[in-house]
Amino acid sequence: MKRFVFIPLLFLAASAFAQNAPTLDDSAKFLGGLPVKGPLEPLMQNEAWKNHAVALDDAWRKKEYHQLEPIRGFMNENASEAYNSTNTAYYMFGGPDFLYAHTFFPNANTYILAGLEPVGQVPDLSRLSPEMLGGGLSALRASMHTILQTHYFITKDMRTDLGHGNFGGTLPILYVFLARTGCTVLDTSYVKSPAEGVKITFVHHGPKQTLYYFKTDLSGGKSPFLSWCAKQGPGLSLLKAASYLMHGEGFGGVRSFLLENSRVIIQDDTGLPLRSFTKGWTVNFYGRYVPHKEMFGKYHQPDLAAIYAKNPPPPELGFAFGYHWQPERGILMMATRK
């Protein structure tokens, strides 16, 4: 079995290992706009941080009301077994969106997220000048704007925003989501196999859990990354705003992986095409199927439309899901292996 190579985090300045350096969890909470003690406490008087905290508090109240609480209620009512499962959670094409992976599957022992964005860095925040800190916090909020205002990242915009400021990449976003979901960060390490990534160990009202984010191209067939994932055991999969990539043959490897290694798949219509779910699956449908007439019009699924037309599920899902930002247009499909 190919083993991981763990490398101490080089993105922390040498002073980060000094006695008075902020802990990883303090850094996560500070980036998340939450109060901290220790070396970062004086920086809470910085106007840029105060503005950052107010903005995130406001965005989070709205997120909880419109998205997170309704999703938890939906899962408890319709998918309690998956919601309470400790199986590995896979979120292909999710980028750094730990927020939704944790909301749908809060008890997973391991989360595996994949995207094209670099891991990035979090420097010793206590050593940044006020100007550098303010610029970094502003760029961080900008990179999360669409997912906080709607429910998905716009990849090209996120990539542009992550290139600005003094702590770029996905790691600061992962820290914000961990802090805001009430998790405590225990350890963070780079990994180089099966792909470039980061491993974060944390706790959230229970035993230790692990979050992996990998920067990897999921196109093509089988890959060392997918082979490694397959060894993590049958799991729970989430697909959201996935650009219909698996509707063609260019992403056949990851499509096959998900069908072979998932016990439950929760997705919108941009994930696996309905035709992928053969006799070995039971698929339940929620919300409404509203086809996209713009750039994704060619991926209209007549078989899916026929199901919604013949036996319509309740007209509203209760929260936005997929590329439609309106709750009344949300669509969710839950496929369960028989």
φ/ψ bin of 273: left (φ > 0), alpha (ψ from -120 to 50), beta (otherwise): beta
Half-sphere exposure of 145 (CA within 13 A, CB side): 14
Average pLDDT over residues 58-87: 95
How far is 215 from 93, CA to CA, in rounded Å?
Answer: 10
Report whether pLDDT(164) > 80: no
Residue 167 vs residues 27, 38, 130, 148, 170: alpha-carbon distances, Å: 12, 21, 14, 19, 9
Q: Which pTM was predicted?
A: 0.91
Contacts of 159 (CB under 8 A, 6+ apart): 117
Q: Residue 85 — very low, low, confident or very high, per pLDDT cuts 50/70/90?
A: very high
Domain that holds residue 207: 6-269
Instruction: Single out the residue of 229, 253, 210, 264 nearest to residue 98, CA to CA.
Output: 210
User: 94-136: per-residue pLDDT in tens?
Assistant: 999 999 999 999 999 999 999 999 999 898 999 999 999 999 9
Determine, yes or no, domain membership for 70: yes
- 248 contacts 152 by C-beta, under 8 angstroms: no
What type of residue is 170? T
**Pairing mode, strands 110-115 and 208-215:** parallel
- How many residues are there in the chain? 338
Q: Which amino acid is at 55?
A: A
Closest to 67 in 3D by CA, of 322, 243, 237:
322
In a domain, 256, yes or no: yes
Residue-averaged pLDDT of the chain: 89
In a domain, 325, yes or no: no
Q: 56 is written with which tokens?
A: 């995130």
User: Phi, psi at residue 71, to the nearest 5°?
Assistant: -65, -45
Residues 6+ apart with CB under 8 A from 250: 219, 220
Residue 28 corresponds to which tokens in the numbers above? Answer: 């996560």
In the predicted model, what is the mean pLDDT of residues 320-331?
A: 84
What is the pLDDT averaged over residues 133-161?
76
**Chain centroid offset of residue 289 CA:** 23
Which one, of 134, 123, 142, 141, lies nearest residue 45 by Cα? 134
**What pLDDT does residue 313 have?**
67
Q: If you average pLDDT over residues 71-98, what whole number do you get?
A: 96
Residues 6+ apart with CB under 8 A from 7: 189, 190, 191, 192
Question: Is the pLDDT at 165 greater than 90, yes or no?
Answer: no
User: Which pLDDT score, from 0 to 100, does residue 2 have?
Assistant: 43
Domain contains 322: no
Task: Place 149 in a pLDDT band, splitting at 50, 70 and 90.
Answer: confident
Instruction: Say if residue 297 is exposed, middle or buried (CB neighbours under 10 Å; 0-12, 13-18, 19+).
Output: exposed
- Average pLDDT estimate for 239-261: 96
Q: Residue 11 carries which side chain, given as an amino acid letter?
A: F
What are the distances in angstroms from CA 75 to CA 7, 122, 209, 247, 334?
Answer: 37, 33, 20, 26, 10
Task: Select the more confidently predicted residue: 152 or 193.
Answer: 193
| Contact between 268 and 240 (Cβ < 8 Å) | yes
- Is 90 exceeded by the pLDDT of residue 28? yes
Place 5 in a pLDDT band, splitting at 50, 70 and 90.
very low
Phi-psi region of 336 (alpha: psi -120 to 50; beta: other; left: phi over 0): beta
- pLDDT category, 314, cuts 50, 70, 90? low
The mean per-residue pLDDT over the stretch 37-46 comes to 96
Give CA separation, 226 vs 56, 76, 118, 289, in Å. Answer: 35, 30, 19, 30
Q: Report yes or no: 114 and 214 within 8 Å, Cβ to Cβ.
A: yes
- Structurally, how many domains does the chain consist of? 1
pLDDT tens per residue, range 176-187: 999 999 999 999
Residue 154: its pLDDT value, please? 61
Tell me the average pLDDT across 77-103: 96
Structure tokens given for 217: 């191209």
Residue 103 burial (10 A CB sphere; 0-12, 13-18, 19+): buried
Residue 26 lies in a domain: yes
CA–CA separation, 79 and 85 (whole Å):
10
Task: Answer whether residue 264 is part of any domain.
Answer: yes
Residue 106 lies in a domain: yes
